[in-house]
């Protein structure tokens, strides 16, 4: 037997690779659906907690930077631009991702109407610009 293993390079594969050749304790490692659901819930909670900690960390860093900026503005008498203020994020936000967008109407008729009005306004503006160009020349 030993000679056969020496001649066959894959002769001892079943001993060294788990899952090859059948497992003796497959039934012992299986979890019930309730345990799997609990594990998934714990994993999701850990992900949410890590995301919250990350947001808090970067918010603190941004607050520190803003303090430094305020000091520089005070030192050189620079006024703060009105567009520099950043929107506050809600901490009770359970979803990942960026900023919240305005809700879009699900009604296709209102979407089509808004699109048509935008295109009409654009066309009217272009026509007015063309008429102005023609009257100047």
Q: If you average pLDDT over each of 16-30, 57-71, 79-93, 101-115, which comes out highest?
A: 57-71
- Beta-carbon count within 10 A of 52 CB: 14
pLDDT (0 to 100) of residue 60: 97
Q: Model confidence over 94-123: pLDDT tens digits?
A: 555 555 555 556 788 888 899 999 999 999
Q: Which long-range contacts (C-beta less than 8 Å, at least 24 apart) are formed by 65-70?
A: none
How confident is the prediction for the chain on average, in pLDDT?
78
SS3 per residue for 79-117: CCCHHHCCCCCCCCCCCCCCCCCCCCCCCHHHHHHHHHH
> Which two structure tokens, joined as six digits, stand for 26?
């497959």
What is the distance in angstroms between the CA of the first residue and the CA of the last residue of the chain? 101
Residue 14 has pLDDT above 60, yes or no: no
pLDDT in tens, 69-80: 999 999 999 998
What mean pLDDT do residues 24-48 have?
84
Distance CA 62, CA 49 (A): 20
């Amino acid at each position: 037997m030993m000679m056969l293993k020496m001649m066959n390079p894959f002769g001892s594969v079943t001993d060294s690779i788990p899952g090859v050749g059948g497992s003796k304790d497959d039934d012992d490692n299986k979890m019930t659906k309730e345990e799997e659901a609990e594990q998934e819930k714990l994993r999701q909670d850990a992900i949410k907690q890590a995301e919250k900690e990350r947001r808090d960390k970067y918010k603190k860093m941004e607050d520190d930077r803003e303090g430094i900026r305020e000091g520089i503005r005070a030192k050189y008498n620079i006024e703060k631009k009105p567009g520099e203020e950043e929107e506050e994020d809600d901490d009770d936000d359970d979803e990942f991702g960026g900023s919240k967008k305005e809700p879009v109407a699900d009604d296709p008729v209102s979407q089509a109407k808004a699109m048509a009005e935008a295109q009409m306004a654009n066309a009217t503006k272009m026509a007015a610009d063309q008429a102005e160009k023609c009257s100047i020349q």
